[in-house]
Amino acid sequence: MEKTAKLVVNGKSYELPLVVGTEGEIALDISYLRSETGLITLDPGYANTGSCKSCITFMDGEKGILRYRGYPVEQLAEYSSFRETAYLLINGELPLENELNRFSVMLNDHSLVHEDMHHFFQNFPRRAHPMGILSSMVNALRAFYPEIPERSEEEEINITFTRLLSKVRTMAAMSYKISRGHKIVYPRHDLSYCANFLNMMFDSPVKPYVIDEDLVDALNVFWILHADHEQNCSTAAVRLVGSARVNLYAAISAGICALWGPLHGGANQSVVEMLQEIHDSGGNPAPFIARAKDRDDPFRLMGFGHRVYKTYDPRARIMEKTCNRVLKKLKIHDPLLDIAKRLEEVAVKDAYFIDHDLYPNVDFYSGIVLRAMGIPLNMFPVMFAIGRLPGWISQWKESMEDPKWKLHRPRQVYTGLQERDYVPLNKRG
């Protein structure tokens, strides 16, 4: 294959290097385009822009492939745990037994949240969205856990990673308990990562929570499926904010804010709201499908479509199976699942959805799983955020270790007014 591509502008020709990834993906390296030609590229929404080289996650949107560090997500969902997958993403390899044990001890050691932080949680208005609370509190972590100069840089970074993974989970459960006016449940050293979360959410002095291993498994799968997704909106936000060399807490807080949006991590909440609306209007999905196809109506079928996947999102299939398993185990008949299945059946055969390559994404079934677990609707994006943490951390780490690291600073094509003279206030109008 050629190593360069030729660009001809105004009769002058330029050679642009081609970069080939390990899975054969080819990119045009335009780093010197402006200095050599005076041109920039224009790519709204970065749909065609590779912002970095990365060896963490591989996605093939045409074939519906997702792999973390080379491992298919289907295998990780079946055999791994979220804790182990987090280790894999951050460190690049599956841990040996002693490494995994050490990681668990660290997660346990860092699971408590500074008691002074509890006041912050108490003082948010009761109706504050948990994503707003989480992003603020993650930013505040920096003030409570400043760097210790005696520690080596590597030790400090590892502690920060573990602290985030462990404390964000504790804080999410704390904010839920406080929103209900209930007593906080502290993390327990004898419980696994996922079991601990469920216990902190649902244990109560008047009704002890009984850990259900099937729900723990389902939560592991849910978080594994969300653990990374290469350069998505929130990860790009973490890399971009991190590129200014802010501390990791601030970069992750920016990622949480990006994830909050209904087109990204907020979609799992929007899907359930949409299914509920269909249910309340009699259960027929047809008018909603018609609205989604109407160009004059801003309504979209939530949980459908993806910037990269032009076929089934591989995570959606696993999530659907998990959904069926959880509902069967809990003996729940959720009418929203029936509606979701009917909606999917009709939409995937509809010419509009076929022509636009719109298939169910990870969020289509995940909300029904979370609902069955007892997770309140407004906490769905928080569940996504806990899952995405290992991805954000590993992508931030990779960007910081990149010898070609650069401050992220895109350019633009200016389309505003040309230079004009200032008009004093009394001469305007």
Q: Tell me, yes or no, if 306 is annotated catalytic.
A: yes
Q: Of 23-31, 57-65, 299-307, 334-342, which part binds ligand CMC (CB under 6 A)?
A: 299-307
Is there binding between residue 220 and ligand CMC (CB under 6 A)? Answer: no
- Report the residue number, 295 or 404, with the smaller CB distance to ligand CMC: 295
Q: Specify whether the CB–CB gap between 142 and 247 falls below 8 A.
A: yes
Q: Of 21-29, 66-74, 93-101, 258-266, which part binds ligand CMC (CB under 6 A)?
A: 258-266
Sites for ligand CMC among residues 263-282 (CB under 6 A): 263-265, 267
Look up residue 426 and give its DSSP letter.
G
Is there binding between residue 317 and ligand CMC (CB under 6 A)? Answer: no
Q: Where are the alpha helices (DSSP H) in 330-356?
A: 335-347, 351-355
* DSSP notation for 223-287: HHHHS--SS-HHHHHHHHHHTTT--HHHHHHHHHHHHHSTTTTTHHHHHHHHHHHHHHTTS--HH
Q: How far apart are CA 387 and CA 382, in angstroms?
A: 9
Is there binding between residue 301 and ligand CMC (CB under 6 A)? Answer: yes
Q: Specify whether the CB–CB gap between 393 and 90 falls below 8 A.
A: yes
Of 363, 402, 408, 421, the active-site residue reads: 363
Minimum distance, C-beta of residue 113 to ligand CMC, in the bound complex (Å): 27
Minimum distance, C-beta of residue 315 to ligand CMC, in the bound complex (Å): 9
Of 229, 306, 313, 334, the active-site residue reads: 306
- Report the residue number, 222 or 304, with the smaller CB distance to ligand CMC: 304
Is there binding between residue 188 and ligand CMC (CB under 6 A)? Answer: no
Strand 57-60: give its sheet, edge to edge. Answer: 57-60, 65-68, 71-72
Within 53-143, strands assigned E span: 57-60, 65-68, 71-72
Sites for ligand CMC among residues 362-381 (CB under 6 A): 362-363
Q: Of 80-88, 143-151, 250-258, 354-362, which part binds ligand CMC (CB under 6 A)?
A: 354-362
Q: Tell me, yes or no, if 356 is annotated catalytic.
A: no
Q: Could you report how far apart the first and last alpha carbons of the chain are, in Å?
A: 62
Is there binding between residue 291 and ligand CMC (CB under 6 A)? Answer: no
Is there binding between residue 306 and ligand CMC (CB under 6 A)? Answer: yes
Of residues 50, 76, 51, 62, the one with CA closest to residue 387: 76
Going from the C-alpha of 113 to that of each of 66, 174, 193, the distances in angstroms are 34, 9, 15
Is there binding between residue 358 and ligand CMC (CB under 6 A)? Answer: yes
Residue numbers of the site for ligand CMC (CB under 6 A)? 229, 232, 263-265, 267, 292, 300-307, 356, 358, 361-363
Catalytic sites, residue numbers: 306, 363
